[in-house]
A and B are shown apart, each in its own frame.
Chain A
Amino acid sequence: MPNLVEASGLVKRYREVTALDGLDLAVAEGTVLGLLGPNGAGKTTAVSILATLLTPDAGSARVAGIDVVARPQEVRRHIGLSGQFAALDEHLTGFENLFMVGRLYHLGRPRARDRAVELLELFELTEAGGRPVKTYSGGMRRRLDLAGALVAAPPVLFLDEPTTGLDPYSRRQLWEVIRGMVGDGTTVLLTTQYLEEADRLADRILVIDHGRAIAEGAPDELKSRIGAERIEVTVTDAAVLEEARQLLARFAVGEQQADARSRSLITPIAGGMPVLTAALQELQRAGIAVRDIGLRRPTLDDVFLTLTGHVSAPEENDE
């Protein structure tokens, strides 16, 4: 499968801030790449360059085989973009917004009209289609914005945090639509702050921080690196932290993290509650006083903790 999106060595600086610091990425045709990272990691900058909104200071990128810097106008014919902030005209109706976008993709009048009607139906907006967008809820705006990106049925879609700020129901609804499009062969580059979202939608995940790739892999690969679930223990005395670590090591399915300052220990496990119970019994048998213990699902913080040591590294130096 050819790569429909390809970037190498992308650099973008804003005055003193380096938003992208040599980013490489590739998305194979018909797959979804999830670009995962915290705020300010460079996700939106990367998407903006690939969608021809920004030009990189260095590096190159091709979308649908076309150079984004040299031939941006041609790239635009092959992409759809749905941003973090719904890019809609508040005073136009849902239908008018989609019709306008269709006309600007140079679909003929009848085709633009048909397409707007189709998309309103797909996104369950048919009833609201005749109302100005300013009367829409946040979820409806997002759906309409995504519909706008699909008007020309482009082979490549860029979705920049498509569900940020949505309620769980709307989020699930949007995920379903995106999965449907991928099923029809669309190639998607998706940015998100939510591990769960990347997990649901992405074939591969690229984790970025400070404008650089720090890990890449299928969701399962990444999860096995950070552990699907983890036991977090806080002991009352930092001196026994190492002993606790060794006791729980036999439950660990990945690297354990101990932090002396917060007297806490994170152990990636598999098996859920029974394992937690067993771990607690183990600690009590050894006479280790436990202040707090719990089972947690990995968060994006955990990904960073594991992949970069961002949070733990400086504290280790303090010791």
Chain B
Amino acid sequence: MKDLVYAVNDAAVIAWRNVIRIRRVPDLLVFVLISPIMFVLLFAFVFGNSIDIPGGSYREFLIAGIFAQTVVFGASFTGAGLAEDIQKGIINRFRALPMSRSALLVGRTLSDVVYNVLSLLVMALTGLLVGWGISSSALDAATGFALLLLFAYAFSWVMAYVGLLVPSVEVINNASFIVTMPLTFVANTFVPAENLPPLLRTFALWNPVSAVTQATRELFGNIPPGTPPPEAWPLQNPVLYTLLWVGLLIAVFAPLAVRRYRSSVDKR
């Protein structure tokens, strides 16, 4: 019981520290917020007229995909943050303190939710400007955003593990693209999954990013009426399928990352 209280306290202290850093390094925050805006505008205006969504508008279709992509990309900040802690040597201070072993990672993943909340907010506003809208209830919309944040949180554990594995900020930024690009592009994020060639199509249908996107579209009411229901089970049950992935990612990567943290050493 005491251990649990300490674990919560320590994670909160680390999260507090990280949030202070977000405020002190506004350059990073500006970059975090500008790139999703660019994505919204680029896709809406560059591809918007070439990609046809039967019975609906591409911009309606697009926004949920951009949301999903951005929160997945955002997870690399978790890896980069941990890699920086190792590079700067502060991790040795933490490891010699009687703090909970999971605190650095739990605190980091929690504080990175702040980035995602802010970027979702900025993207939603940009989306509204280019003609996107929510046509469902406030509760559904809130559920949609919550699901995006939850999936982002789970995915940040994957990047936490990668960050501890490859403790260099530069490498993380590049390595994460290898994972996040296929996950976010071979999906129903920017084009309907049904339009993809067979192999990619199967991947896209079972890709959790597609499920998050599908669930968000449904919850925001962005699916045009008369659209035939998706044929694959994950997209027929996108919320459930997303939640399964959230559980799986955390169950696998949180213990891996914590174990890696325990044995990580300053490599200088």
Contacts and interface: CB of A to CB of B under 8 A. Distances in A.
A132 interface: yes
B10 A104 contact: yes
Contacts of A231: none
A91 interface: yes
A90 B90 CA distance: 10
Given A53-B265, A76-B98, A92 B92 contact: no
Interface string B228-250: 00000000000000000000000
A106 B96 contact: no
B94 interface: yes
A103 B96 contact: no
Contacts of B24: 91-92, 132
A145 to B, nearest CB: 8
Interface in B14-41: 16-17, 20-21, 24-25
B90 A77 contact: no
Contact of A81 (B6, B16, B93): B93
A101 interface: yes
A13 to B, nearest CB: 14
A128 interface: no
A74 B10 CA distance: 16
B13 interface: yes
Nearest to B12: A103
Contacts of B98: 73-74, 76-77, 104-106
Contact of A92 (B21, B89, B95, B265): B21
B88 interface: yes
A117 to B, nearest CB: 18
Contacts of A273: none
Contacts of A73: 98
Nearest to A74: B98
B21 A87 contact: no
Given A81-B92, A83-B92, A89-B90, A104 B20 contact: no
Contacts of A96: 17, 20
A81 B96 CA distance: 7
Interface string A119-156: 00000000000001000000000000000100000000
Nearest to A134: B24
A303 interface: no
Chain B interface extent, by class:
20 to 34
B250 to A, nearest CB: 24
Given A92-B17, A104-B10, A54 B265 contact: yes
B93 A87 contact: yes
B97 interface: yes
B264 to A, nearest CB: 10
A232 B88 CA distance: 43
Interface SS of B by simple majority: helix
A292 to B, nearest CB: 39
A92 B20 CA distance: 7
Interface in B75-105: 88-99, 103
Contacts of A87: 88-93
B94 A104 contact: yes
A74 to B, nearest CB: 8
Contacts of B202: none
B9 interface: yes
Contacts of B90: 87-89
Contacts of A83: 89, 92-93
Contacts of B265: 48, 53-54
A101 B96 CA distance: 11
Nearest to A99: B13
Contacts of A91: 20-21, 24-25
A64 interface: no
A100 B92 CA distance: 15
Max chain B Cβ within 10 angstroms of own Cβ: one of A77, A89, A148: A89
B116 to A, nearest CB: 20
Interface string A183-205: 00000000000000000000000
Interface in A286-316: none
A76 B20 contact: no
Given A87-B88, A87-B90, A100-B16, 14 more contacts: A51-B96, A52-B95, A74-B98, A79-B96, A83-B93, A87-B91, A91-B20, A92-B17, A96-B17, A104-B94, A104-B103, A106-B6, A106-B9, A132-B24
27 contacts: A52-B95, A52-B96, A73-B98, A76-B96, A76-B98, A77-B98, A81-B93, A87-B90, A87-B93, A89-B90, A90-B88, A91-B21, A91-B25, A92-B17, A92-B20, A92-B24, A100-B13, A100-B16, A101-B93, A103-B13, A104-B13, A104-B94, A104-B98, A105-B97, A106-B6, A106-B9, A106-B98
9 nearest A-B pairs in the assembled complex, by CB-CB distance: A87-B93, A76-B98, A104-B99, A91-B24, A81-B96, A103-B13, A85-B89, A77-B98, A91-B21
